[in-house]
Amino acid sequence: MRFDKVSFAYRHNKPILNEVDFSVRQGSKITLMGQNGAGKSTVFNLIMGTVEPDSGHVHRAKRITVAAARQTISRDQLHLTVREFFERCFSEDNLAKAQACKGKIYDIDPRIDEVLEVVNLVAPHDRIIKSFSGGQQARLLLASALIQNPDLLLLDEPTNNLDKDGISHLTQFLIDYKKTCIVISHDANFLNAFTHGVLYLDVFTRKIEQYVGNYFDLVAELLARIEKENRKNAQLEKKIQEKKDKANYFAKKGGHLRFVAKKMREKAEVLEEAKVDVRREDKTIRTFVIPSQRDIGGEILSITSFFVMKNHKLVARKANISLRKNQHLLLLGPNGIGKSALLESLALGKAQGSKIAPNVQIGYYRQDFSTLNFEDTVYDSLGFVAGQHTEENLRSIAAGFLITSDLMYTKIGSLSDGQKGLVCFARLVLQEPGLLILDEPTNHINFRHLPVIASALNKYEGAMILVSHVPEFVQQIRIDEILDLES
């Protein structure tokens, strides 16, 4: 597969790619990297042929098959059964041909069982997709691509929502995988286990740079280039200043020396143009604080019992959890045990065996971003929770999360998932909650932002419940109590 001078824009003021060239060889395992909103998922759409380039060509080998595992299951598929979900992986023509094969009704169920075993998931074929946890849905997405037996497999943030065992299983699968694979991920350790090369999408130049090696090799090469460019610019800057100083000196002398001064300024301008445009590396969000609700005290949340899912049945468990201000609770358990269900019931005030103090403002970060109205603009979404914040303050907080003025009037649904996550954090800052409920807040987020987010959560002075399968992230946050749903 090869990109030849490919350019693409969603509209005239939102360019994504500018005459991009790169190629992918058969059997290689490639990482596609770039900051949130750079256009990585758009590159996948161009490879799939679901969008066409404005100029240039995407060349695919003849008869090549391509399948993608997206970041999330689309909302219009959540009501499907497992069987219906997998049937939709095939075009109507292909399914009809398969069903007509040898005059028999095609039975897709054995193939479903095969791919579910590959992704380490047991699931009845008549179970509704919406009833699966986020981690289980991530496995279904991978299985939906594998069932198509593609020549080129595209994985978009495949580790999101996966627990430790799920990530380990996926990593080993990719190490053993014999076909071609391109992966979008912000998890450097995961990528470095199997990657042969990196495609780096620069959000500023709109170009894709191709590197051999893993992510750490890419970082080392970029740093070396930046250092070299900075040295060259420092030398030029010294010469530029000398020319300017001479120009000022001759200008003060007056007379014919003013002509000499003009020449000196022109030489300085030429040197300015010779300066290298040093790579503007991915921006990181600003340090931020999530203010906690001021007018509350005493016990904010108590949990005396809860339900877990064991062998597809709800099982009651006892607990003794009491959270006050400045206390943080970590919720543990494997995919599918019921962590997200418990968080949702707590956020809605419907959890049996729990009690939230009156008038507590709840800030809820959902892993599927369903607390956001996808038809709202970013400005409307932030304004909805802004309370007493001024317009100037709202925009300043948004800018800290890289929500620039050109994004403010973009619909939430048009943002990348990483950008949706940053909008959610901006909303929490504006909301000033007394109880913070966070379900996998690292999903889709550029790894550069994670230390900043971890620091903010570590310093949060309200009550907090956190679910995260990323131990490096959790280790940076003060945890006062742990509730393991499996024990």
Tens-digit pLDDT profile for residues 407-418: 899 999 988 888
pLDDT band at 381 (very low <50, low <70, confident <90, very high): very high
pLDDT at 12: 66
Using CA atoms, how far apart are residues 183 and 154, in angstroms rounded to an integer?
6
Sign of the C-alpha dihedral, residues 444, 449, 451, 452?
A: negative
Residue 42 has pLDDT above 50, yes or no: yes
Distances (CA, A) of 76 to 88, 129, 141, 263, 442: 12, 11, 14, 67, 25
d(CA 249, CA 313): 86
Q: Which residue has the tokens 């300043």?
A: 396
User: Judging by beta carbons within 10 Å of its beta carbon (0-12, 13-18, 19+), is residue 238 exposed, middle or buried?
Assistant: exposed
- The Cα–Cα gap between 476 and 47 comes to 38
Q: What is the pLDDT of residues 93-123, one digit of tens each?
A: 445 444 544 434 457 889 999 889 888 888 8
pLDDT, residue 18, reads 92
CATH class of 2-203: alpha beta
C-beta separation of 323 from 301 below 8 A = yes
Are residues 434 and 299 in contact, defined by beta-carbon separation less than 8 angstroms? no
**Structure-block tokens of residue 11:** 């509209």
Average pLDDT over residues 31-53: 88
The model's confidence at residue 279, banded by pLDDT at 50, 70 and 90, is: low
pLDDT at 460 over 90: yes
Instruction: Give the confidence band of 423 by pLDDT, cuts at 50, 70, 90.
Output: very high
- Counting DSSP H helices and E strands in the chain, the numbers are 15, 17
pLDDT interval class at 271 (50, 70, 90): confident
Alpha-carbon gap, residue 398 to 426, rounded angstroms: 6
Please give the helix or strand (H or E) that residue 23 lies within, else none: strand 15-23
| pLDDT at position 276 | 59
CA distance 95 to 98: 5
Token pair in block for residue 360: 């507590």
The Cα 366–Cα 436 span in angstroms is 11
Distance from CA of residue 293 to its chain's centroid? 29
Rounded-to-integer distance, Cα 42 and Cα 45, Å: 5
Instruction: Assign 255 to helix, strand or coil.
Output: coil
Q: For residue range 140-197, list pLDDT tens digits in order.
A: 999 999 898 899 999 988 888 788 888 888 888 889 888 999 999 877 788 888 888 8
pLDDT in tens, 339-355: 989 999 999 988 889 99
Residues 484, 471, 192, 7, CA torsion sign? positive
Mean pLDDT of 375-381: 95
Asked which of 156-165, 283-292, 316-325, 447-456 is least confident by mean pLDDT, the reply is: 156-165
More confident residue, 132 or 160: 132
Residue 265's contacts (CB-CB under 8 Å, 6 or more residues apart) are 243, 244, 247
Among the residue ranges 213-217, 228-232, 345-349, 451-455, the one predicted with the least confidence is: 213-217
Residue 232: how many other CB atoms lie within 10 Å: 14
Closest CA relative to residue 163, chosen from 372, 385, 475, 443:
443
pLDDT of residue 372: 93
pLDDT score for 101: 46
Residue 346: per-residue pLDDT:
93
Comparing CA positions, the residue from 343, 359, 342, 350 lying closest to residue 300 is 359
Treating both helix axes as pointing N-terminal to C-terminal, what angle do 417-431 and 391-400 enclose, rounded to 10 degrees? Answer: 140
pLDDT of 13: 67
pLDDT of residue 105: 42
CATH class as words, domain 299-484: alpha beta
Question: Within 10 Å of residue 18's Cβ, how many Cβ atoms?
Answer: 17
Average pLDDT over residues 354-360: 93
258: left (phi over 0), alpha (psi -120 to 50) or beta: alpha
Kind of pairing, strands 299-310 and 208-212?
A: unpaired
CA distance 448 to 411: 25
CATH 3.40.50.300 in the chain is located at 2-203, 299-484
Mean pLDDT of 275-291: 76
Mean pLDDT, all residues of the chain: 87
Q: Roughly how many angstroms between the first and final C-alpha of the chain, as a whole number?
A: 48
